[in-house]
Structure 1
């Protein structure tokens, strides 16, 4: 998934200074962003005052959109650096192509995981023909310094483990939860899980007190630790929790995101996660000159040009207490 904003603003993030060491209930409202020709997303991370949750550094929620008579998602080839992309759907399909030659249709409750490492490019589109509705989330995970220059690769996992309780099914997308572990490759202690709650269900989800957590509402009426969380919003929960109370007023879908607070200081600009101004400048130059990121074959259209760099020096910094 690309950040398609033409006036891309740098995000300075990472470090432990702004991590809340105790449980909190901080409701994050989305910012609406146009994505491609016909898709509008609700951007939850980075957010004003909250840039990361563990290694999760970018969260977009979109849909459900009726695209029966539209082209749906159309995101032209674009680059990524220093991160993993996670594609997660509740409705519809997304056709993924990348510069490694991968060609994969991702369907609901299947994991599409792309590790950019030192450089990769990809496109995403609704296939032709496609389902009537499109609903999902696109997320990024920052790679730690030891792995940010790794070989790029793409993984698709249609069969994911689940944790169940009365009225609750928690599908483990990434990392581990209550003894169940996703087959997706991870590089930091992390968890991502899809929570399906039946109407009237009440459950307590076990958590790791060393992780910080947030919950994204995908659909329905749900209460997270007593707080109503509407679809398209996200509740930041801080650290220090051993369990999370959940209650559903209707059938509801949530995403649990968490991980150890990310210690390293980052610069995130456009579709790149780096450590310095030089990292970002070199990546942008390489993309614009057709170097380093490879080529995506088969997409019907031109690739995305990079926006202009802002007239400020991009310096990494931690979160200040």
Structure 2
């Protein structure tokens, strides 16, 4: 992530310098301060955002220029024109189509009115040209030179979520066997839920960074992380079932010692698969699921516990299925 930040910062600085040189030395625009300003803000976190931002920024600045021109022609008082242009510009800029560039409508109008450029068509055209130029340079530079990818964010999220899920499964196995506090387990589950949200955000960034990206084929695949995210619903159901059985004073809800041992073995095996990411290790998990199914249908001294065991069996089976889906 530090490397990506350094690359993006370097590109932003280069874009500002290039925009300034082109605007001053090539086009000879007077006071082209908007060119480097726009260039910096268009070196964004993804290529898609840079290209979308270019269209939004040029559109917002164009509306701001038109507002300033209209105010300069029909409102003689600079103070009144300034207030009306800022108010109207910010109101128009709140349209979601402008995105984060919407504020440029009011700001552009304010700058042109305050600098006294609103009545000079040539200067108005210059402001629009330099903004479009700077934004284009920033967007193109971001798209062509080491366009940003977010594989590192994805890999970090995958590692953290896999480790947290494995830890929770191991703690759940201890609770099933009677050696762990349910309250502590629920605290760990809140951590997992937070990591799931981070993982979903990382997946979104990865998918967006691949779009229109010349290096998109080199991006890390998000399927392994998406598969881990899909474990959240059955994992939460399993924790609820185990916690409810552990708190219950009714013997028919809490599985007997042997059944709890099988469930504990299954959860520890699932933890190993989640941590290693190796679906080939699921064979033992599948055998343990079959053993749980056998306990549910075979009359034994412990089958009075079938309600609690059945509540654990379904989410445990789903965990096995989803870990093997990659």
* Same fold? TM cut 0.5: no
**TM-score, length-scaled by structure 1:** 0.22
**Bigger helix fraction:** 2
Return the TM-score normalized by structure 2: 0.22
Q: Which has the higher strand share?
A: 1
Point out the structure with max Rg over C-alpha: 2
